[in-house]
Amino acid sequence: MDSSSEVRTKKVWPLKEIRELVEQGHAIVISEGYVLKLYAWLNRHPGGAKVILHVVGRDATVELNAFHSKEVKAQMARYRIGKLEEPWVNVIPPIQRQSLRIPENEVEKEPSTPISEVPLIDVTVTENLLAVPCQTNPDTDASSTASSVFDGEGLRLRNRTEGSSVDSEEIPDLETKMMDATELETRFQALIARLEDEGLYDSKLSAYVTEILRCTILFSLSMVFLRMEWYATSAAFLGMFWHQIVATAHDAGHLAVTHDYNIDFLIGGVVLNFCGGLSIGWWKRNHNIHHIVTNSPTHDQDLQILPFIAISPVFFDSLYSTASECIMHYNWFAKFMVPKQAWTYYFLLSVARFNLYYLAWDFILRDLGTKLHRKQRIFELVGQIFFWTWFGYLIVYRSIPTISQRIIFCLICHMITLPLHLQLTVSHFSMSTEESEPSEHWIQRMFRTTMDVDCPTWMDWFHGGLQFQVTHHLFPRMPRHNLRKASGYVKEFCAETGLKYEVYGFGESNGRMLDRLTEVARQARYLKDCQDSIVSKGEYLHGHWD
């Protein structure tokens, strides 16, 4: 660290001044008592800019430690601009609220208010990332207004008073229901140190070799049966191959294979782009946000499945998605599909991979990554061309003679991947979707919004190790093969801190998810009936909306 950096680091900031900087648009994050100014890093962050914006104005010590190696954390010192005068009190990040807007012509510049002793860096931010649009559709019609009124004052109130599980999870207050936040962090850091001492952050080469052999066998069997013209059987084994390789790509995306960014990105790209037709760049951007704002209807894209599925009644309000930067309209098609979602859910999961193809191409062609990703864009594009050459042209078009057989082949190989999508959704969709209060700790949120799926050890290969979602969310850089052992330590941690660790069998977890879907669907039908009744009687014309 040079002398100028040391001077900046020694500056002591009053809380009031830091809050003002946050409100003025500076990307200020607190870590270990230091003030980090990360605006210059937004468009270079490998995990995307928005994952940083979701911790602006917060003490993100635990999050930064969970997602970054010691080497990366050491490099963060260059972004320190001083220390805090007293303990920080979290505020809601500007991206998560309506109150802060920055004109589009100001977004490409560093915030105008100078920070003393810190030279501003001229950077270009290509997206209006710090501007926060209104969270509901301003162009509401009578039916959408009815949605807002009945959902806000009727349906959601009914959830809490009659014991429905939908959005009824209360957010515990750290000060009254748990130990002090500082003590919670101290114990969590001690847990991380214990896991590191146990070697649970170290990769098992033998485990990855076993996975490579398994995937090679599955792909080889698919090609053998394709040559034998057993097209359905070939498609089934190809789907199994895709199902298995995604787990490896998941580890690579979290830098859990070699812990080296370039090598793991290469592994993830080969697996996802070249072998699976998906995008490692899109996955990293989307998935990192999911880990920070898990189960947030407005910020977590994994929950945003309108017009087909609504996990919570809040989606009836046509929310604005900060992830997709668009309004999720609860339109006529959503009103038709959501009441039937408990019946259509498994079918939609079976064809979900087609949507992932679209998202991959959209991400690459529109160049939605950070400046760092733009250097990797060609690699991803070559991967897409390679995939659609071997799968789309050589297998589907050249090897299968008729159109009907091609369609059946494609449906089978894609539907076989359903268990993977199901595995990831059951771990979250039946859990709380309430937005966090500023006082809620990130550790606390992970337990509130995530659950584990219990299964025998011999079934770990089928689930890919991703059934331990609570443990994975707490320690995202840990290889999947070590999550089972680490989950035992997590249970001990919960017993010490009073946090609730939820784990259910595969059947029960599916049942809980279906209960959630059924309840939201019932409320959607009730809302539609109320709207139809009011419109047919013309009651809204007589001031009944006031």
Query: Which CATH superfamily, name and number, covers 3-96?
Result: Cytochrome b5-like heme/steroid binding domain (3.10.120.10)
Residue 414 has phi, psi (to 5 degrees) of -85, -35
Distances (CA, A) of 109 to 40, 49, 63, 120, 490: 10, 15, 27, 10, 44
Helices and strands in the chain: count of H runs, count of E runs: 27, 8
Percentage of residues in the chain having pLDDT higher than 70: 81
Is 226's pLDDT higher than 90? yes
Measured CA to CA, the distance from residue 13 to residue 257 in angstroms comes to 39
User: What's residue 540's pLDDT?
Assistant: 58
**13-33 tens-digit pLDDT:** 998 999 999 988 899 999 988
Measured CA to CA, the distance from residue 205 to residue 366 in angstroms comes to 37
Least confident of 160-174, 322-336, 373-387: 160-174
Q: What is the mean pLDDT of residues 22-49?
A: 88
Is 397's pLDDT higher than 90? yes
Residue intervals of the chain classified under CATH 3.10.120.10 are 3-96
Least confident of 31-40, 107-116, 265-274, 363-372: 107-116
User: What's residue 5's pLDDT?
Assistant: 52
Least confident of 158-162, 303-307, 316-320, 508-512: 158-162
CB 429 within 8 A of CB 516: yes
Q: What is the mean pLDDT of the chain?
A: 82
Amino acid at 356: L
Least confident of 169-183, 234-248, 392-406: 169-183
Is 120's pLDDT higher than 50? no
For residue 513, the number of C-alpha atoms closer than 13 Å in the C-beta half-sphere is: 25
**Closest by CA position to 244, among listed 207, 285, 281, 279:** 207
Is 263's pLDDT higher than 90? yes
Least confident of 120-134, 191-205, 290-304, 518-532: 120-134
- Written as six digits, the tokens of 52 are 């940083």
Measured CA to CA, the distance from residue 231 to residue 225 in angstroms comes to 7
Higher per-residue confidence, 358 vs 117: 358
Query: Residue ranges of the alpha helices (H) in 203-328?
Result: 205-227, 231-253, 261-269, 275-276, 280-292
Give the pLDDT band (50/70/90) at residue 542: low
Is 216's pLDDT higher than 50? yes
Cβ atoms < 10 Å from Cβ of 532:
12
3-state secondary structure of 34: strand
Amino acid at 169: E
